[in-house]
Structure 1
Amino acid sequence: MKDEYQHYMLKEISEQPKIIKRIIKKYIGKDTYFIDKEILNALKNANTIYIIASGSSYHAGLIGKSLFEKLARKKAESIIASEFVYNMPLIDENSFFLIISQSGETGDLKEALSKIKDLGYKTLTITNTPDSYLSKNADYSLFLEAGKEVSIPATKSFIATLALLSILANAISGQPINIKEELLKVASTVQNLYNKKAVYQNIANSLKDNKLIFLLGTSFDFYATLEISLKLKETAYIPAFALPIKEFFHGPITLLEEGTSVIILNTLKESSKVVRNAIKEISNKEGKVVIISLEDISESKDNIIIPQVHFLFTSFVTVVLGQLIAYYTALARNTEIDNPRNLTKSVPLL
């Protein structure tokens, strides 16, 4: 039931702090992890971890790739499932495959799993549906614990995927962080920011009539913009394009017209100076800039300021903010939020 919520999407966005805590309880113990040791050993011993996914799960995989590389110092690649079959990379013989699917029934992922098994590699499926095809046919499977996701645009299954990927990366790290503490901080931050309804409505009102929206960032911020742009397309039906911030100035800036909205994520100290310079350049060209910043690199004019969280987990927070912006933009445009036109939860094989 939607209870007091107008749409399932908003209800499911609101559930994300609770889901992070549920995943912590299921997979993290005192000085241990409740994860099959065969899975952890397979991840530790692999030269390369390949993450195969589609749609929102692919964007989660990009963030997961960076988590494995930065937390566990483990080489990882995230590949779109449909492209894996037609354009397979050169695969190290000591590789491990991680397949992400909210439904566990996506056609392209079924085809990819079949190909991977034919090649003789071990596979782990991360899914929100434990009795699904992918869950049953992979060598190993882990459950997202997100509960049924009614709204077609993925929200809570996305944050659940990020939480589980971060736990896996930390579990095989030689220098683990206090992952429980950091994820609880994310959950608390998301809960607090969720309640700023007026902020998201104001941003939505500035976006609703746009014919084009750009979203820019670096590193984890760029990966987050990919998911936020997808949510704007799915729910508000607005063409929204995500780019690394410097790449915007290598051609796409020609599409910037007076009043064009540009959403910019600024959560990384290393790139903050570049981001601020880009903001000035875009503002000088009459672009409407929406700025989401981390507290210690924020400025008073920024639209949303995020309290301090670990730099590896800022994308967990910014994606949720993007979900809320997309939701309220779609609400202002009176679109079919829970059942977007032409879209299904599980895309069949073409």
Structure 2
Amino acid sequence: MCGITGYIGAREAVSTALNNLKRLEYRGYDSAGIAYLSSQGLEVVRAEGRIVNLEKLLSQVPAQASAAIAHTRWATHGRPCETNAHPHTDCKKRLAVVHNGIIENYVELRQQLLAQGHVFASETDTETLAHLIEANLPSTTASQKEIARAIRAALSRVRGSYAIAVICTDTPQALYVARQDSPLIIGLGHEEKLIASDITALLQHTRHMVPLEDGDFAVITPQRVIITDRQGSVQERAVLHVDWDDQAAEKGGYAHFMLKEIHEGPRTVQDTLRGRLAKEERIAFPGLSLTPQDLQRFERIAIVGCGTAYHAGAVGKRWLEQWLRRPVEISVASEFRYSDPIVGPDTLVILISQSGETADTLAAMREAKARGATTLAIVNVIGSTLAREADAVILTQAGPEIGVASTKAYLAQLVVLALLGLFLAQLESPGGLPPHLQTLVSALPEMPQLLERCLQQEEAIKALARKLVSSKSFFYLGRGLDYATALEAALKLKEISYLHAEAYPAGEMKHGPLALIEPGVAVIGISTQSLTREKMESNLKEVKARQGTVVVVEPEGVVSDGADERIVLPSAPDYLMPILAIAPLQLLAYYIARERGCDIDQPRNLAKSVTVE
């Protein structure tokens, strides 16, 4: 979604904030802007499109400042254009505001401010904040305390979600920030402070950070940070030390972040397994705040996620149901709280999110907690809202994921769900796991090496992409666990190539979608499960009979009759095949998109961290 950065200190603030903003480009945006305090007063420079357009404008004006705030916008209120780009100012250009989130009652507030004589320049909800703050400022030069009071007063009238940063000409040595349901992090340096909506933007400067919590407001100077609540009472917040490698946010020689992150899959799986495979081939979750007694009392499990996280949950549902023989439901997060969900004290609700800031997933978590359920977050970002608010959290250890289309984070989510399912089964089997599950525990350490073997097919998959790129439509078919994989594989192709792609349970094709099969339609049949392999072959022959192009994804040693092309996977236990099957399908989507010349890391209309509902 939108990105915020800011800087105050001895360095040149404009270039520092701008460089940090570039590290948020992966979030998806349609315009960019920066505000800074110069000797001439408040300066605001904005541009439609990429940050490079903003840089060109800044190169034409002197930009020397010790404080700056910057923003990339993903349009929600008002079309993408320079006028609607952030930062936004008050009538007198005394202050500037950047904002992530949505002000739900902005129409009502805007009408009140217009009646008071305020003049609006944009269509955005955010500009309302600038005028609200202006309305609460004294007419003469204001102190830090007076500005802080004015911002808190403005926010008290707001309904919705926000992460905001404000600079004011009255106090050139201060930044003002606040958050509610949208992430904002303060980076701590010597005689300098930074802000960002994502840890990645701060790593090149500091590893010491303070994630703000909902309701927090902070006054930031180069020397100190004072955090209060909405009423002005001082709050203590822990300093977080982040161990991510700064180079993990760079492409490392790959053409795209997505390709780099696909190749980081084996290491991601290894990192996610580390410390969780205990002696005597047992699963452990050090630091998990739920006790064995807590975990054994749940009669039902609900899994909630969006997009890729939902698809990981679809795999997890089948694992947990079959290993625990306990009912497991899966819900799309945006539907969960509106469906009057049947959850309560007997329910464990597992919420999956890469960023930990997905608005729909946060809303689902809060709904589940309000109904008495216990919430467990599976999340990649330490210090994120989901990680802090859930009753318990398991970190996926995927590291920064820059490409908008999730790849390695999906693998990490799968591995955590497999570990969790086996851990719960282990709790219920004090005498030892049954042999078919113990086999999985033994096989997990081999998964990184097997994934490496999957990725060694890259040249063959590149050639396959050239054959398939002219296809007018794609269907991904599977049964059971393979259908869950098909959902994610189809999403990857849609996201980055803009081609039509749909996933179906293979047995459902004959109930309608088979009418769409004709020459020029490609069908990817995922057939990794022994139990359904014969049925899958019959389903694919139905496609072949109608002259569709058939590609089969299957383990070595199995040769489906009649396939036009094959993607061969290393042998592994059937239950773990979803971890292996997705990697070559991610590569296939990547190379088809590359053949089409698409913007792979920043596909149109999409954003990495979706912080609005």
TM-score interval (norm. to shorter): over 0.9
**For 2:278, which of 20, 25, 29 is the aligned residue?**
29
Contact 1:257–1:286 (8 Å) recurs in 2: yes
Q: Tell me how far apart the structure 2 counterparts of residues 306 and 171 of structure 1 sit (CA, whole Å).
A: 27
Residue 279 (structure 1) aligns with: 540
Q: CA deviation at 1:78?
A: 1.3
1:197–1:81 CA distance, 2 compared to 1 (3 A): same
Q: Are residues 39 and 324 of structure 1, via their aligned partners in 2, closer, same or farther at CA, if it must alter by over 3 Å? A: farther
For 1:312, give the aligned amino acid. Answer: Y
C-alpha displacement at 1:118, in angstroms?
Answer: 1.2
Structure 1: distance between partners of 2:305 and 2:294: 19
Q: How does 1:66-85 map to 2 (within 5 A)?
A: 66-85=318-337
| Structure 1 residue 186 displacement after superposition | 2.3
2:365 is the alignment partner of 1:113: yes
SS in 2 for 1:291: strand
Higher strand share: 2
Q: 2:314 aligns with which of 62, 87, 92?
A: 62
Q: Residue 475 of structure 2: SS of its match in structure 1?
A: strand
**Aligned length, in residue pairs:** 350
Q: 2:466 aligns with which of 205, 220, 244?
A: 205
Is residue 496–residue 598 contact of structure 2 (8 Å, CA) maintained in 1?
A: yes
Q: Is the 8 A contact 2:470 2:520 kept in 1?
A: no
1:191 maps to: 452
Partner of 2:395: 143
Please show how residues 1-350 of structure 1 align to structure 2 within 5 Å: 1-31=250-280, 32=282, 33-35=284-286, 36=288, 38-91=290-343, 93-173=345-425, 174=429, 175=433, 176-299=437-560, 303-350=566-613
Larger mean CA deviation between 184-193 and 93-102 belongs to 184-193
Distance 1:40 1:330, change over 3 A: farther
C-alpha offsets along residues 238-273 of structure 1, whole Å, 9 cap, x if unaligned? 110000001011001111121210000111122111
Contact 2:257 2:402 in 1 (8 A): yes
Rounded Cα–Cα distance in structure 2 between residues aligned with 1:123 and 1:79: 14
- 1:71 Cα offset (Å): 2.2
Question: Is the 8 Å Cα contact of residues 43 and 49 (structure 1) preserved in structure 2?
Answer: no
User: Sequence identity, in percent?
Assistant: 32
Contact 1:48 1:96 in 2 (8 A): yes
Give the gaps of 5 or more residues in structure 2.
1-249
Return the offset for 1:76.
1.3
- Segment drifting more, 209-218 vs 34-43: 34-43
Shift of 1:41: 3.6
After TM superposition, give the deviation of residue 348 of structure 1 in Å: 2.4
Residue 97 of structure 1: how far off its partner (Å): 0.9
Render the CA deviation track for 1:56-102: whole Å, top value 9, x for unaligned: 00000010111111223332111110110111333364111111110
Q: Is the 8 A contact 1:20 1:183 kept in 2?
A: no
What is the alpha-carbon distance in structure 1 between the residues aligned to residue 401 and residue 275 of structure 2? Answer: 19
8 Å Cα contact 1:40-1:171 kept in structure 2: no
CA change 1:41–1:12 in 2 (3 A) is: farther
Higher alpha-carbon deviation: 180-189 or 73-82: 180-189
Residues 422 and 441 of structure 2 are in contact (CA less than 8 Å); yes or no, is this contact kept in structure 1? no
- Matched residues in 2 for 1:256 and 1:216: separation? 13
Residue aligned with 1:49, SS = strand
TM-score normalised by structure 2 residue count:
0.55
Q: Distance in 1 between matches of 2:326 and 2:454?
A: 33
Distance between the aligned counterparts of 1:44 and 1:211, measured in 2? 49
SS in 2 for 1:2: coil
The letter for the 2-side match of 1:319 is I
Q: Secondary structure at the match of 2:337?
A: helix
Of 41-50 and 7-16, the range deviating more from structure 2:
41-50
* Contact 1:85 1:111 survives alignment (8 Å): yes
Cα distance in 1 between the residues matched to 2:317 and 2:416: 13
Q: Taking structure 1 as the reference length, what is the TM-score of the superposition?
A: 0.95
The residue matched to 1:34 in structure 2 has which SS? coil
1:121 alignment partner AA = A
Partner SS for 2:290: helix
Structure-1 residue corresponding to 2:225: none
Q: Is the 8 A contact 2:357 2:386 kept in 1?
A: yes
Q: Distance in 2 between matches of 1:206 and 1:40?
A: 52
Do the aligned partners of residues 125 and 39 (structure 1) sit closer, same or farther apart at CA in structure 2, a change above 3 Å counting? Answer: farther
User: 2:466–2:595: 8 Å Cα contact kept in structure 1?
Assistant: yes
Structure with the higher fraction of residues in helix conformation:
1
State the Cα distance separating 1:44 from its structure 2 match: 2.5
Q: Secondary structure at the match of 2:377?
A: strand
| Partner deviation per Cα, 1:308-328 (whole Å, 9 max, x = no partner) | 101111111111121111011
In 2, Cα distance between equivalents of 1:125 and 1:84: 15
Q: CA separation in 1, counterparts of 2:517 and 2:503?
A: 14
* Partner Cα separation in structure 1 for residue 476 and residue 483 of structure 2: 8
The code of the aligned residue for 1:21 comes to: Q
Supply the distance in 2 between the matched residues of 1:272 and 1:30 (Cα, whole angstroms).
Answer: 35
CA RMSD of aligned residues (A): 1.6
Supply the AA of the counterpart residue of 1:238: L
The DSSP-based 3-state class of the residue aligned with 1:297 is coil
Any conservation in 1 of the 2:343–2:368 contact (CA below 8 Å)? no
Question: Which amino acid is the alignment partner of residue 316 of structure 1?
Answer: I
**Higher relative CO (CA 8 A, sep ≥ 6), structure 1 or 2?**
1
Contact 1:50 / 1:98 at 8 angstroms: preserved in 2? yes
